[in-house]
Structure 1
Amino acid sequence: MISYKSLTCSTADALVIYLLENNLKVSNEDLNKNISFAEDKGLFKGKSGESYSFTRTVNDTIQTVLLVGLGKEEDINLDKVREATGKAIKKLKELGITNIFLRVPHTEAIKLEELIKAMATSAELANYTFNKYKTDAKEEKELNVSISRCGVKEATKEIEDAINEGVEVAKGIIIARNLVNEPSNVIYPETLAEAAVNAGKESGFEVEVHGVEKIKALKMEAFYNVAKGSVKEPKLIVMRYFGDEDNKENVLGLVGKGLTYDSGGYSIKPTTGMVDMKSDMGGAASVIGALSVIAKRGLKLNVIAVIAACENLISGDAYKPGEVIGSMAGKTIEVVNTDAEGRLTLVDAVHYIITEEKVNEVIDLATLTGAALVALGETTTAVVTNNEGFFNELKSASEYTGDNMWQLPTFDDYKELIKSDIADLKNSGGRFAGTITAGLFIEAFVQDKPWLHLDIAGTAWTSKNSNLGVKGGTGAPVHTLYELAKRRSK
């Protein structure tokens, strides 16, 4: 937990100084002597990713000074500021320091408010842990952080607003991280719905939760067939935020894959492939997190989000390879792989949000295919779309937030791979182009609405610690969804 207090450069226990490779100078001569010493000895050059610490005496107390490099002025960007901030917070936490002054870097390349917002978001994310189930975990100490420039006695409204926005973005990301990191015996359809309800109460959006009878009444057969192998009842979660009451006919739709656990069904996964399948609701988690920030910030636009939440398990009632099932849209689907289940839940959710909630555009988010991870690793989200303008809007927002996105091709040849001999479609196109064919399967249900499919199989979960997080759920791409919505609200 971080609180933001009015520390100064001289009263903080630690002072973090961001320096550019071609400008290793500050306004304090004593500090410059230490910086010059580090530079002369080759200990610190200001390169991006570099850090160097020393101590000094201020007001009869010992203060730790941490230098962090941003690289050359012409190459500086918000990602480097975020990484440097995260590195600084983690390093100082390791040293047990809790009163920290982050000195805003001097650069003409980025606006002051943007720098401060990025620093606030990064400090929160770097401070994040998930150790609630460790009985020997030490209690987390509260960090006291100030973000300003030395010599500035009071924060302006603009600075305070930038910090608040940065913190709220981070909180939305952390909502998603926490939901993904919880084990599947804690987060299942009912408790995921409860989490959405609580988020709505906290942030200011409406939540409606439907059970199995409503799902059957809506003829969401694809969704229900995936869900019926589990004793836990599926939930259709609908979240509505209307920030533009005068323009209610213009609504952005978000659909998040909500598989709270995926065994693969009868096309069962190996044990190693099941361990982290609590994360298969990463799309749902990100939708809840993003809508929380959008509502909390009071953005002037309308957003409706839908999650078809269930488990994919094996039982005497579970669906099987070779079956032909229906869908809410009326299309028939040949099931060739019960581990290609996420797209079945998504197509009913997509059809529902278009026909029942009357959205104009749809973004679906899903930890959908291992192929996305193979192709793009853990650093980049795969995107399939039917609308270049919509994609360019997403791409611009993602370049600002640092969430890497990459568009995949959608040539007609790929659509041949999901044609069935006995039904309208089959739910898997086989080994080749798996991410593309999964996306195109969903496209068959979007009714020509502008649509983006984000396969976050690689980016919703990370296998290692980083400057801005820990192993587990990442909360991607909450920040990008918020930024896209923010730009539309202006």
Structure 2
Amino acid sequence: MKLNIRDQVEKYDGMILPLYEDGLATKVLSLPLDELQGSKKFEGKMGTTYKLTAVVESSLKEIVLLGLGKKDDLNFRKLLNGFADAYRLVKKQKTEKVVLHIENLEHQEILAKAATEAVLMADYSFDLKTKEKEDKEIELDMITSVDMKIINEAYVLAESNLVARDLVNQPANLMYPETLAEKVLELGEEKGFEVEIFELEAIEAMEMEAFLSVAKASDRDPRLIVMRYKGNPDSDEVLGYVGKGLTYDSGGLSIKPTTGMVTMKSDMGGAAAVIGAMTAIADMELKVNVTAVVAACENMISGNAYRPGDIIGSMGGKSIFIGNTDAEGRLTLIDAMHYIVTRENVNKVLDIATLTGAAIYCTGDAASAAISNNDDFFKAVNESFNKSGEQIWRMPIFDEYKELIKHEEADLTNTAGNPGTITAGLFIGEFTGDLPWTHIDIAGTAFSKKEKGILSKGGTGAAVKPLYYLAKNEEA
């Protein structure tokens, strides 16, 4: 899709016309709005749409009305999904040139931002079908006079979200540790952040035994991917991100059922989130320092696989009892966490992962689950999610939960039991030192089974935008 920003209407065959519920009127076209409102077919309620075909200047136009709700009750999340639904509806009419009118509407800045992000994300789809020559791409003209800085940021955020979606959606035979590392190198060169790749020998030299235990059954060697963005070289403050990078998870010897393995290319959703966020941070040239780390590997099965009942070590020096080889993500994360805390001089750290099925029982696909050891840091994380239109919910940390991750034969166990989302997070928290830390579990939000709102089927790009805003909040 091609997006243009204009100050007047040019030729078009489709139109998206947003309207407020309390003030259902427009000067753009002559439409029977009173009749529609009276019949309750369209009243302008938030997120509602109504399609009609009208003759304008002697030619047929496909018109989609979009309800914005009440002027003083805007909700960015609902606006995103509303604009996405309206765009998909007009696109289905085989339109080639669509005009989106937000000029002269109140709250034009938030509308322009939501519309830009929404139409770009709603236009995305992924497949690897053999295709004939692509049809002409749809062109959308947005009629607005807002500052282009707002549009540019929204465009960058949408594109970075799609970078993450593409990473997750690539099948595991194409996206594995080596190719993921190569892709990050390309993005770093393109966007302007430093990338360092540690291969097997270097990982072994750092004694990342937990990470290597997960990786060793695969024929594909692991990669430790380190991304550094130095937007404020005069500052010693560095924000740290750690993303789970399981490019495929069979469950290991604690093997998943086939139905559970089909979508396990998505187990790198946390890695995709931090990679996507780094592209946005660099693209927008934020005056902040951010370092992101991904321990990328596959969790497979072979005679060399780690076993339930094993006791393994870790880069942080703690021993771990393996109760289940399908609780592997936390093992890769702890070595990545210890690395970033001890070797990259970060001042606060956030890890993000498709970590536990239990998270889906906590918050479903509507929100990501979180735990944190620092109220101020979590407040900043929460505000970043709110600003992006995504949702997060903080779980409690009780002393009783901390006892569950201990084991009689080792320092820790990777299977502490319920509440699984919290104990898995606390396991990672054992390796954060004294730093402010937040853990985010996106198991329920990183992958969508169907197209809805701004989401396409497959990877969602969850948390890319919040991680960008969190970094922006750290700017000097």
* 1:166-245 pair list within 5 angstroms: 166-245=154-233
Distance 1:106 1:487, change over 3 A: farther
Identify unmatched segments of 5+ residues in structure 1: 150-154
Measure, in 2, the Cα distance between the counterparts of 1:68 and 1:341. Answer: 45
Alignment of 1:358-437 (within 5 A): 358-430=345-417, 432-437=418-423
In 2, are the aligned partners of 1:7 and 1:145 still within 8 Å (CA)? no
Alignment CA distance shift 1:5-1:407 (3 Å): closer
Output the amino acid matched with 2:471. A
Partner of 1:119: 115
4+ runs of 1 displaced by more than 6 Å?
Answer: none
Return the alpha-carbon distance in structure 1 between the equivalents of residues 473 and 410 of structure 2.
Answer: 42
* SS of corresponding position for 2:297: strand
Distance 1:105 1:86, change over 3 A: farther
Q: Which residue of structure 1 aligns with residue 434 of structure 2?
A: 448
Residues 222 and 327 in structure 1, CA contact (< 8 A), matched pair in contact too: yes
Alpha-carbon contact 1:211-1:236 (below 8 Å) kept:
yes
What is the match of residue 140 of structure 2?
145
Letter in 1 for 2:394: Q
Q: Does structure 1 residue 254 correspond to structure 2 residue 250?
A: no
1:344 aligns with 2:331: yes
| Structure 2 Cα separation of the partners of residues 56 and 9 of structure 1 | 16
Q: Work out whether residues 53 and 63 of structure 2, in 8 Å CA contact, stay in contact via their aligned partners in 1.
A: yes
TM-score between the two structures when normalised by the length of structure 1 = 0.94
Q: Distance in 1 between matches of 2:474 and 2:11?
A: 41
Shift of 1:418: 1.1
Amino acid at match of 2:446: A
TM-score of the two chains, using structure 2 as the length reference = 0.97
Do 1:7 and 1:101's aligned partners in 2 also have CA atoms closer than 8 Å? no
SS at match of 2:72: helix
List runs of 5+ in structure 2 lacking aligned partners: none
Query: 2:141 corresponds to which letter in structure 1?
Result: S
Summarize the Cα distance change of 1:361–1:140 in structure 2 as closer, same or farther, 3 Å threshold. farther
Specify the alignment match of 1:152 in structure 2: none
Provide, for residues 367-425 of structure 1, a one-character-per-residue CA deviation record: whole Å limited to 9, x for no partner: 00000012211111000110011001111111111111000011110011111111110
Distance in 2 of aligned mates of 1:116 and 1:47? 19
Please tell me whether residue 311 in structure 1 is matched to residue 309 in structure 2.
Answer: no
Distance 1:124 1:140, change over 3 A: farther
Query: Residue 440 and residue 105 in structure 1: after superposition, are their counterparts in 2 closer, same or farther (change >3 A)?
Result: farther
Shift of 1:106: 5.3
In structure 1, the partner of 2:20 is: 20
Q: What is aligned with 2:149?
A: 161
SS at match of 1:222: helix
Does the 8 Å CA contact 1:350/1:446 hold for their aligned counterparts? yes
* 1:149-194 alpha-carbon deviations (Å, 9 max, x no partner): 4xxxxx56x1x22222111101110000001011000000001101
Query: C-alpha separation between the residues in 2 aligned to 1:6 and 1:148?
Result: 5
> In 2, are the aligned partners of 1:19 and 1:105 still within 8 Å (CA)?
no
> In structure 1, what is the Cα distance between the partners aligned to 2:53 and 2:266?
43
66, 69, 88: which is aligned to 2:64?
66
Measure how far apart 1:327 and its partner are. Answer: 0.5
Please, which of 445, 462, 467 is the counterpart of residue 448 of structure 2? 462
1:13 shift after superposition: 1.9
Number of aligned residues: 476
Match of 1:56 in 2: 54
Take 1:245 and 1:89, find their aligned partners in 2: how far apart are those partners? 42
Greater alpha carbon shift after TM alignment, 64-73 vs 447-456: 64-73
Q: Contact (CA 8 Å) 1:10, 1:58: kept in 2 or not?
A: no
Distance in 2, matches of 1:266 and 1:137, equals 43
> Contact conserved, 2:214 with 2:299, CA < 8 A, in 1?
yes
Determine what percentage of the aligned residue pairs are the same residue: 48
Distance 1:137 1:335, change over 3 A: farther
Shift of 1:292: 0.2
For the pair 1:98 / 2:96, whether they are aligned, the reply is: yes
| One-letter amino acid of the structure 2 residue matched with residue 480 of structure 1 | P
CA distance in 2, matches of 1:356, 1:126: 40
SS in 2 for 1:254: strand
The one-letter code sitting in structure 2 at the alignment partner of 1:115 is L
Q: Verify the 8 A CA contact 2:103 2:143 in the aligned structure 1.
A: no
1:444 maps to amino acid: E
The CA distance in 2 between the partners of 1:392 and 1:351, in whole Å, is 24
1:487 CA drift (Å) = 2.4
Structure 2 CA distance for partners of 1:10 and 1:24, relative to 1, 3 Å: farther
AA at the equivalent of 2:456: V
1:6 deviates by 3.6
Distance 1:87 1:137 in 2: 27
The letter of the residue matching 2:138 is: L
Give the conservation status (yes or no) of the 8 Å contact 1:222–1:344.
Answer: yes
Q: Which residue type is aligned with residue 176 of structure 2?
A: Y
Alignment RMSD: 1.6
Q: Partner of 2:234: helix, strand, or coil?
A: helix
What is the distance in 2 between the residues matched to 1:48 and 1:443? 41
Q: Deviations over 1:423-461 (max 9, x none)?
A: 11011112x100000000001110010001000000111
The answer to whether the Cα contact below 8 Å between 1:5 and 1:144 also exists between their aligned partners in 2 is no
Q: Deviations over 1:246-274 (max 9, x none)?
A: 11x21000000000000111111111111
Local SS of the residue matching 1:255 = strand
